Each structure stands twice: as structure tokens, then as C-alpha cells.
Structure 1
């Protein structure tokens, strides 16, 4: 009986371990580490994003994009269309605000 209880406990512990079925390889992901925000001459918001590239074959080791959008959410959707991998925006380390945006009263 004790042997069956130990086997059952071991199976329960093994089933509770998290799996790796939904993993994303670092080479297939785009980690947005910097987001910039500014305005152009027409008072439209400009969003910039900078991401490192982890592929060994890549000549350029960073990816930089800029889009016009009304909100940060809309800019993230447009960045998703432009970048090469799955975008992970929860890793932002730096948020840069431009001078022109700071000078507006709105």
C-alpha cells in the first residue's frame, strides 16, 4: 500500500510541473526594450521602438521602427505588422519622451 501511495504522490508531483509546450525561442521573439514618443510638425503622435536581434546570421544587431498612431495600443499593433517575430512588449526598459511633445500644452 505504501508503494502505491508513493507512486501516486510522484505522479501527482510530475503532473503539476509546468510544461514547455508554449515556449517562444529567443530568436523568434522581438523584445521591445525602448519606446520613444514625439510629435511631428502636423501635431501627430510618432512612436518609435527599438529591439535587439538575437540571430547569429543578422548583420544589424538592432531593429528600429517608427509609426504614426493615436495611442500606444495602436502603435503596438502597427509594430507587430512591421517586426520579424512575436512582439513581447512587457520587457520595456526605457521610455523616451521627445522635446516637441513636452512643449505642447495638450
Structure 2
């Protein structure tokens, strides 16, 4: 029987599995159609890039450790640039404390 070579991020994925309480628990936390066997397969195939951020939020195991073969700095910079466009175009103006602007000159209250 041929033994599969683990992906370079396998130790980090194993740490995430342990922090989540096991394969089944991590698969449940990830949600969707993710099953424990799918997560187990990631040990040899690598964690899908699109799942890394969620696993990082759930377990604290960094994307860079889950997939050391990807350039996360470039990806984060690209997302940061996209977010800047959204923030710059926001027209969200918050009302002052109390929700209603104070009336000027009205002291009859």
C-alpha cells in the first residue's frame, strides 16, 4: 500500500483539527458540505485556499501555516486594496449622540 506524502501545511492542519476537538468537529465548524473525510484528505492534498481564513478564525492556526506554498502577503494586500475602495466610497454618516441634531437657539426646554 502506497503511503501518501503529507502536504507541507499538514502539521498546521493537524493542530487546527486538535484545537477544534477532532476531524468531525472541525468539519462541522466549517459547515456546508464539508465532511470529516474531506478534512482528512487535506492533510495530503493541502487545505483549500478558500477555507484557510475560516479555519484561522475558528482555531487561530494561521493561513500562512496551513498553506505555506501560497503567497499570503500578496493575497492580503490585494484584499486590503479592495476594502479601501469600499471604505472610500461609503456614504455612511452617523447621527450625533441622541440620534437627533440639537436645535440651536432653543432654550425653552
TM (normalized to structure 1)?
Answer: 0.22
Q: Which structure has greater helix proportion? A: 2
Structure with greater contact order relative to length (CA < 8 Å, sep ≥ 6):
1
TM-score w.r.t. length of structure 2: 0.22
